[in-house]
Structures are given as C-alpha cells and as structure tokens.
Amino acid sequence: MGNVNINKLDISYDTTFILNQLDLSIEDGEFIVLLGPSGCGKSTLLNAIGGLIDTSGGSIHFDGKDVTWTDPKDRGIGMVFQSYALYPTMTVEKNMSFGLRIAGVEKKIIQEKVNWAAKLLQLEPLLKRKPSALSGGQRQRVAIGRALVRDASIYLFDEPLSNLDAKLRAELRLEIKKLHQKLKSTMIYVTHDQIEALTLADRIAVMKDGIIQQLDTPYNVYNKPANLFVATFLGSPGMNCLEGRLSKKGGGITFISSDILIDVSDYQFINSPMEGQKVTLGVRPENIVVRGGCEQAKNVFSGMIELVEPMGSETLIWSKFSANQTLSHCVNSDQIFTKGDSVQVQIEVTKCSVFDTETGFRI
C-alpha cells in the first residue's frame, strides 16, 4: 500500500518559508510528478516525504499512519537521487544489497532480490563492477535497482535523469514508465523537464514558490492550465499570450487586443465574463492553423512570416499579424514557408485559454 497524505505542511529555514501550508494527497499506485522551475520547493517537498529534512509544521501520513517524525529508514521508501549517490567503495551487487544487509535479511533472500532487480534492469553483467567502471546511464539504473531491492511501497525520484544525455534520458524514461506499470507502486518524481512530466505522470503537480499551482492529469495541465504560470511553464515552443479585454457587444463575446479582434463566443468559460474585463488570451502554437483559400470562417487572420524555425517533425513560424502582434504557430515540416511570405491562419478558440489578467486565473 502506498497512500500519501500531506496536510498543511510547512518547511522553513530560519524565517523564510520554502513550503507554506501545502496539501497533497496521493493515491496508492499513482505516479505523481512534481514539476516546477528550480527553487520552487519541489525537491524540498520530496525530501520531506522521504524524511530527510525536518518539517516546521503540518503532517505527513502514509496509509493513515503519521510519519512526520519517523526516521527515513522506517518509512518504507526507496529513493533515487540526481547524482546517483552510489557507494563508491562497493560493487554494484553490494550497493544494491546494502539496505537489506543493514536490516539483517537472510543471505538467500538478499541474493534473490538482487538477482530479480538486476534482471529487471539488465544489470546482470555488471554486478561485480564498481560504480566508477559504469557509464552514467548504468549508474542510474543501479541506483534505481538499489531502491527497488528495498521492497518499498513508495518510490521517490529526485531528478534522476537530469545528468544524462538526451538519448539516454529518453531510454531511461521509458524504462521507468515500464517499471511503474509492472510494479504498480506509488512513485513520486521530481523534475523540471516538462517532457518527463507529461510522459510519465498520472497526475502532475505544477509548483511555484512552494505552492502547488495545479494538480491534474497531464492532459488537463497542458490543455486546461489553471493559471498563467502553468500555461507558460508548460509547452515547448511556448504559448502565445495576448493581452486585451472582453466585450459582450453584439450577442457573442469578443476578445479585443489593441488592433486584433477575436470571437471567443465558442470558448467554454468557467465563470461568465464581465464586460470590459481585462484578460490574457493564451494560444498554443499548434492551435493556430494555416488555412488555404479564402473561406469565410471565424477568426481567420492573415500575416507576414518574419522567422522560420525548423524543428524536425514540425516547423515553428513567427508571423506578424498586425503592428504589434507577432504570434508563433506550428506547421507540418513538409510545408515550405519562407520569410516574407504571407500566410492565412485560423485561431482555434475552443482550444485556447482565457485568463484574468489581474489574478492570472483561468476563467
């Protein structure tokens, strides 16, 4: 079992709060990713769950049991660190079995567990090697193996892939995902990499300044961001933000930026907007679609291409639509565009996000 309940958790150094009144509850078997920029408190939260730093207030419960002041070793957790933290003087085998040896588990059982984890992570040929004779990816696999051997109900990952190169990172990401599907245990994973977050998580907790901004499925976090921070933090290439106000004149609802008018009647507002409300319209580059011909459709604009950024599978284009509106939009990389061409695009309003400019919240 691996439920985690965090109630009103405070963590402060001297007088500065790193985490303030944080609540988070994690279901058994869930893969939670804590995502945020550096300094947002995500690693602090993970360390608090692991019992590696003292809390200043609030409580942490595992399966209903209060573990706020329990020693890390008694929490039933396994942890993987960014710098691998392998014991340099021990072989891979000894590294993986260390926890069990400390706990005084029978030799036969230790052997079985180590072999099981080694097989799972394809570490069998490396068991007799020292960490210094391993590559980065192998070291991180050993670190994961060491956590697995402990038979924990909750696994904590502290930016485990940050030190690896892009290709290895993608490989190991896949392995972690497979591992979660196989073991079905609770995993809490800290990262600043949105791709890792989106691919791995059941739910993502986006954090900033020690506060969880949004806790939701990857789909919702990406497509229905709760506020401007989440909207701009996720997505690469980043979201276009247009500032303006709403007008309800003439039946529908119109978004008016300085020299651009967008009909947002089809957008699903959470709260009914007010006349003249100052809002920010967030449009992801993939929601601005190139339209050929001159169909009479809503929200079609023509602009001039200023910059073309090929990104392999797709191409990002920066086009100028009016005197002070330059937006980025994606096109299939098969389509050839060059600087100076004119282009006609449609903004898909239903897939946009509208935020109150003052509060930053989605409306």
Partner 1 sequence: MLSISPTNLKFASKRASSIQMQWGRIGIYGFLLVTALFFLLPLYVMLVTSFKELDEIRLSSIFALPQDVSWDYWKVAWSSACTGLECNGLQVGFWNSVQILIPSVIISVMFGAINGYALSFWKIKGANILFACLLLGAFIPYQVFIYPLIRVYAEIGIYGTLTGVVVSHVIFGMPIMTLLFRNYYSTLPIELFNAARIDGAGFFKVFFIIMLPMSTPIIIVAVIMQVTNIWNDFLIGLVFAGNDNLPMTVQLNNIVNTTTGERAYNVNMAATILTSLVPLIIYVASGRWFVRGIASGSVKG
Output 62 or 222, the one with its CB closest to partner 1.
Answer: 62
Residues 56-75 binding partner 1 (CB under 8 A) are: 71-73
Q: According to the binding rule CB under 8 A, does residue 52 interact with partner 1? A: yes
Binder to partner 1 among 98, 115, 177, 247 (CB under 8 A)?
Answer: 98
Contact 32, 76 (CB under 8 A): no
Q: According to the binding rule CB under 8 A, does residue 130 interact with partner 1? A: yes
Output 121 or 331, the one with its CB closest to partner 1.
Answer: 121
Q: According to the binding rule CB under 8 A, does residue 109 interact with partner 1? A: no
Binder to partner 1 among 82, 217, 223, 357 (CB under 8 A)?
Answer: 82
Binder to partner 1 among 14, 15, 16, 102 (CB under 8 A)?
Answer: 102
Residues 234-253 binding partner 1 (CB under 8 A) are: none
Binder to partner 1 among 14, 15, 64, 88 (CB under 8 A)?
Answer: 88
Spell out a b/e string for 200-212, using b for 16 or more CB atoms within 10 Å of the CB, else e: bbebbbbbbebeb
Binder to partner 1 among 18, 34, 77, 161 (CB under 8 A)?
Answer: 77
Binder to partner 1 among 36, 41, 50, 218 (CB under 8 A)?
Answer: 50
Nearest to 234 by CA among 273, 301, 288, 285: 285
Output 89 or 111, the one with its CB closest to partner 1.
Answer: 89
Q: According to the binding rule CB under 8 A, does residue 83 interact with partner 1? A: yes
Binder to partner 1 among 31, 62, 84, 222 (CB under 8 A)?
Answer: 84
Q: According to the binding rule CB under 8 A, does residue 99 interact with partner 1? A: yes
Residues 171-230 binding partner 1 (CB under 8 A) are: none
Contact string (CB under 8 A) for partner 1, positions 144-173, x = contact: --x---x-------x----x----------
Binder to partner 1 among 2, 36, 78, 145 (CB under 8 A)?
Answer: 78
Q: According to the binding rule CB under 8 A, does residue 298 interact with partner 1? A: no
Q: According to the binding rule CB under 8 A, does residue 81 interact with partner 1? A: yes
Name the one range near partner 1 by CB under 8 A: 82-90, 244-252, 262-270, 311-319: 82-90
Instruction: For the chain, give the secondary structure using H, E and C.
Output: CCCEEEEEEEEEECCEEEEEEEEEEECCCCEEEEECCCCCCHHHHHHHHHCCCCCCEEEEEECCEECCCCCHHHCCEEEECCCCCCCCCCCHHHHHHHHHHHHCCCHHHHHHHHHHHHHHCCCHHHCCCCHHHCCHHHHHHHHHHHHHHCCCCEEEEECCCCCCCHHHHHHHHHHHHHHHHHHCCEEEEEECCHHHHHHHCCEEEEEECCEEEEEECHHHHHHCCCEHHHHHHCCCCCCEEEEEEEECCCCCCEEEECCEEEECCCCCCCCCCCCCCEEEEEECHHHEEECCCCCCCCCEEEEEEEEEEECCCEEEEEEEEECCEEEEEEEECCCCCCCCCEEEEEECHHHCEEEECCCCEEC
Q: According to the binding rule CB under 8 A, does residue 79 interact with partner 1? A: yes
Positions touching partner 1 (CB under 8 A) are 47, 50, 52, 71-73, 77-79, 81-89, 98-99, 102-103, 130-133, 136, 143, 146, 150, 158, 163
